Amino acid sequence: MPRSNRPRRPTPGRTEHVPLRSASLTRVESAADGEWMVRSVPGSSSAKTYRCPGCDHLIPAGAPHVVAWPAAEFGSVEERRHWHAPCWQARDRRGPGRRRWR
């Protein structure tokens, strides 16, 4: 049977799990804002530019950073957020109204 070269479309209303390309391990972190799945992304694995929800600045392609998502939503694309590592570490010390990611 010949192979179909047409892209497969996901079912409407359902987002497919898209694995992160980082070779590092995912860890669980608990904080006052809940449990989070966290993965460090080395600069060599970062191919896109992202906006950090902690400082609202850009994370350029090729810059090491952290990807975090709620532990209850294992790998949900809509819930993943890319953070500068220092911004992720300081998220509990920021004042109210500073979080733009929720």
Task: Say how many C-beta atoms besides its own lie within 10 A of residue 46's C-beta.
Answer: 20
Dihedral sign, CA of 94, 96, 98, 102?
positive
Tens of pLDDT, residue by residue over 45-102, are 888 999 999 999 999 999 999 999 998 866 677 889 999 999 999 988 875 555 555 4
What's the pTM? 0.67
User: On the CB side of 2, how many CA atoms lie within 13 Å of its CA?
Assistant: 3
Say what the pLDDT of residue 23 is. 45
